[in-house]
Amino acid sequence: MKTIRHTSMLLFIVVAFAVCCKKESSDFDEYSNADFEDLWSTTDMYYPFFELKNIDWDHIHTVYQPLFVNITANDKRDLLGQLLNELKDGHANLISESGRYLSSYDPPRAVKDENAFSPGVVSQYFINDLIETAGIFSYGILPGNTGYVYISSFPSDESTYLQFDTVLEFLRETEVLIIDIRHNGGGSTNSCYYFISRLIDEELEGVLWTQRGGGYWPVSYYYPAGDFQYTNHTVLLINGKTFSTAESMANLCKKIEHITLAGDTTGGGGGVPDEIFDLPSGLKFRVPTRCEMRYDGEHLEWNGIPPDILIPQTKENIDNNRDMQLEAALDYLDSQ
């Protein structure tokens, strides 16, 4: 049973559109009403987080449906984006025919940490310049023979695997390692799982995936891969801009004994948008159709993955050329 929320916000939208958006009939898009119904009903069928977020989707339909009368096509498109944003979900997006996102929701922790990380500040901790590979990896060796690699995203291209192999080979003889996935917005789960396979020396049991109505995907298992496995003490750096597949990596690393998570809690994007849906007008959209659970049984969505060592960081730290989270990781590894 979904409960009502944000009624006052919705009523404000009703009033705003009633006052501001009356147009001539020639401006109307004949498909946009069908877009609204298709988007609403598809989301109603598949979206897994109504109960978690206390969203009354039926009530939202009642409020939004009258707003699509007597407004322009552009206003209707914007209103579709607002409708999706009611889900407060970073994986729910209205998409143009060219693939451009027309709407997006930024989780609160992502907003908080937007300016609390800088690769430029990180680079100042190194004697030699960081090595960059295909715009995805930046890596080098810190004083004390501490390896470091920043992973900016998880591309679907399998050449990424070879690039990660090159990175680990370079860092193979380091005594300890820092893997930095702050501000990593996600990407391919296959890349994530391959990276994990280079960090384990025995079978790793995955987490549950679930869908609307309580159906479960079988638990996956991950196995060592590559020429060698890096199993020295490792810190995984995370923050509020660590999202989606990057959170899956953090979730898995929680189960790896030699890896410690440091930084701040991740953004909380546990939904999986398996499909892009078409609307009658040519617009597209995506919403999660299943979701990832944490190892402790809680939803990853909204909750995120908390670090083992909590080190909040601010824009002021960065402006002063200090990376407190990196420094905490170095201090921790130095104590091991």
Does residue 220 share a domain with residue 149?
A: yes
Does residue 121 share a domain with residue 48?
A: no
Does residue 194 share a domain with residue 142?
A: yes
Which residue segment(s) compose the domain that 44 sits in?
A: 7-88
Does residue 26 share a domain with residue 121?
A: no
Strands (DSSP E) contained in 13-100 are: 93-95
Which tens digit of pLDDT belongs to each residue from 128-180?
Answer: 999 999 789 999 999 999 999 999 999 988 899 999 999 999 999 999 999 99
The CATH number assigned to the domain holding 236 equals 3.90.226.10
Q: Is the dihedral of CA 23, 24, 25, 31 positive or negative?
A: negative
Total residue length of the chain: 336
Q: Is residue 121 part of a domain?
A: yes
Does residue 307 share a domain with residue 243?
A: yes
What is the number of structural domains in the chain? 2
Give the strand pairing for 176-180 and 146-151. Answer: parallel
Q: Per-residue pLDDT for 22 more than 70?
A: no
Q: Is residue 282 part of a domain?
A: no
Does residue 185 share a domain with residue 67?
A: no
Q: Per-residue pLDDT for 52 more than 90?
A: yes
Look at residue 214 in the predicted model and tell me its pLDDT.
65
Q: With contact defined as beta carbons under 8 Å apart, do 225 and 282 qualify?
A: no
pLDDT > 90: percent of the chain = 74
Q: What is the mean pLDDT of residues 204-227?
A: 81
Does residue 146 share a domain with residue 61?
A: no
Does residue 298 share a domain with residue 163?
A: yes
Does residue 45 share a domain with residue 168?
A: no
Does residue 160 share a domain with residue 264?
A: yes
Spatial strand order in the sheet of 290-292: 216-217, 209-211, 290-292, 271-272
Q: Is residue 95 part of a domain?
A: no
Q: Is residue 306 part of a domain?
A: yes
Which tens digit of pLDDT belongs to each residue from 290-310?
Answer: 899 998 889 999 999 999 999
